[in-house]
């Protein structure tokens, strides 16, 4: 089965390489990169907003070559490729009739440095009316960063660049820490054992820190929340009026 898949992949690559690309100039089209979850994440039309004809196209964006395919519906479909000056692939964006599915970024020697996938996931969000975190299935992105050896360095998912829900950090393929914004933080030792855990209890307005040794609980304590504001949008900020002022001042009354 694996051999058949590899053969089919080779056929697809050879077929793609054999395509004749219609070379067009950027000035003759309207090129737009929209949001991750939009109906047309990459939109390319004629300058008058009419749809391009079905086929393979090639053009340059800021002197960097790009190649893409327009479907019979007039959408960018399949792989939108961006190249370095030397002709090596810099990025591949996979779309299905304009909708983003996957992005892979490469460095100048061809190593994968980052990937991004769009899919439906169950995500916890703070509900200000109910004043609690609720779980909801919705479109989200999963982003991964890689070391030179291909192992994951960092992973995150969220609803936008400004709304990251969870971040995982890795060292040599092992999870080093996990952070769920204003809900939970975990750190692990080099052997993969849980080392620390911080839980944000929104019902009791408490922050609880637990310390572990080789995964076994050693201590547990409440962190003072006297100067914390538990906001309705699900964030925690500092109440400056309750924060002790640091430093010193000079008085002119001697």
pLDDT tens digits, 170-218: 988 888 999 988 889 999 998 889 999 999 998 889 999 999 998 899 9
Q: Is residue 147 part of a domain?
A: no
Q: Is residue 51 part of a domain?
A: yes
What domain range includes position 93? Answer: 19-101
Q: Is residue 86 part of a domain?
A: yes
Instruction: Give the DSSP per-residue string, 130-157.
Output: TTEEEEEEEEEEEEEEE-TTS-EEEEEE
| E strands present in 77-205 | 78-83, 89-96, 99-106, 112-127, 132-146, 152-160, 163-171, 174-180, 184-188, 194-201
Domain count, the chain: 1
Instruction: Give the DSSP per-residue string, 210-239.
Output: EEEETTEEEEEEEEP-TTEEE-TTS-EEE-
Q: Is residue 206 part of a domain?
A: no
Instruction: Please give the model's pTM, rounded to 2 decimal places.
Output: 0.74
Q: Is residue 223 part of a domain?
A: no
Longest dimension (CA), the chain: 89
Q: What is the pLDDT of residues 104-147, one digit of tens each?
A: 999 999 999 999 999 998 888 888 888 788 888 889 999 999 99
């Amino acid at each position: 089965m694996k051999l058949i898949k590899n053969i089919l992949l080779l056929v697809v690559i050879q077929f793609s390489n054999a395509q004749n690309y219609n070379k067009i100039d950027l000035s003759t089209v309207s090129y737009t990169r929209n949001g991750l979850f939009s109906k047309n994440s990459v939109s390319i039309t004629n300058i008058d907003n009419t749809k391009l004809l079905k086929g393979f196209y090639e053009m340059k964006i800021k002197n960097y070559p790009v190649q893409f395919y327009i479907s019979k519906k007039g959408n960018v479909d399949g792989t939108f490729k961006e190249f370095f000056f030397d002709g090596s692939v810099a990025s591949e964006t996979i779309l299905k009739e304009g909708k983003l599915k996957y992005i892979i970024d490469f460095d100048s020697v061809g190593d994968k440095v980052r990937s991004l996938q769009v899919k439906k996931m169950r995500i916890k969000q703070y509900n200000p009316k109910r004043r609690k975190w609720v779980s909801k299935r919705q479109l989200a992105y999963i982003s991964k960063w890689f070391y030179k050896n291909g192992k994951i360095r960092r992973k995150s998912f969220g609803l936008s660049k400004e709304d990251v829900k969870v971040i995982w950090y890795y060292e040599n393929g092992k999870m080093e820490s996990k952070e769920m914004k204003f809900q939970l933080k975990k750190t692990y030792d080099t052997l993969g054992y849980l080392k620390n855990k911080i839980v944000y209890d929104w019902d009791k307005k408490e922050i609880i820190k637990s310390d572990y040794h080789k995964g076994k609980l050693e201590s547990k304590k409440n962190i003072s929340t006297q100067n914390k504001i538990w906001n309705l949008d699900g964030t925690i900020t500092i109440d400056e009026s309750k924060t002790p002022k640091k430093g010193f001042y000079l008085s002119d009354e001697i």
